[in-house]
Amino acid sequence: MVIDAMTEQECAALLTRVSLGRLGCSFDDQPYVVPISFAYEPGYIYALSTFGQKIEWMRQNPKVCLEVEEAASESEWITVIATGTYQELTEPQYSAELAHARKILGKRRNWWQIPLAERQAAGEDLVSPLFFRIHIDSITGLRASH
Q: Interface residues for a second copy in 84-143 (CB under 8 A)?
A: 109-110, 113-114, 117-118, 120-121, 142
Handedness of CA 103, 95, 65, 141 (dihedral sign): positive
Q: How far apart are CA 84 and CA 40, in angstroms?
A: 13
Q: Are 88 and 59 in contact (CB under 8 A)?
A: yes
How many angstroms separate the CA atoms of 14 and 68, rounded? Answer: 8
Min CB(42)–a second copy separation in Å: 21
Decide if residue 16 touches a second copy (CB under 8 A).
Answer: no
Return the residues of window 37-56 that contact a second copy according to CB under 8 A.
none
Q: How far is the CB of 17 from a second copy (least distance, A)?
A: 16
Q: Is 59 in the site for a second copy (CB under 8 A)?
A: no
**Which H or E run contains 49?**
strand 44-49
What is the separation, in whole angstroms, between the first and last Cα of the chain?
5
Site size for a second copy (CB under 8 A): 39
Q: For residue 30, how many C-alpha atoms fall within 13 Å in the half-sphere facing its CB?
A: 7
User: Does 67 interact with a second copy (rule: CB under 8 A)?
Assistant: yes
Instruction: Summarize as ranges the residues that interact with a second copy (CB under 8 A).
Output: 1-5, 22-26, 29-35, 61, 63-67, 69, 74-75, 79, 81, 83, 109-110, 113-114, 117-118, 120-121, 142, 144
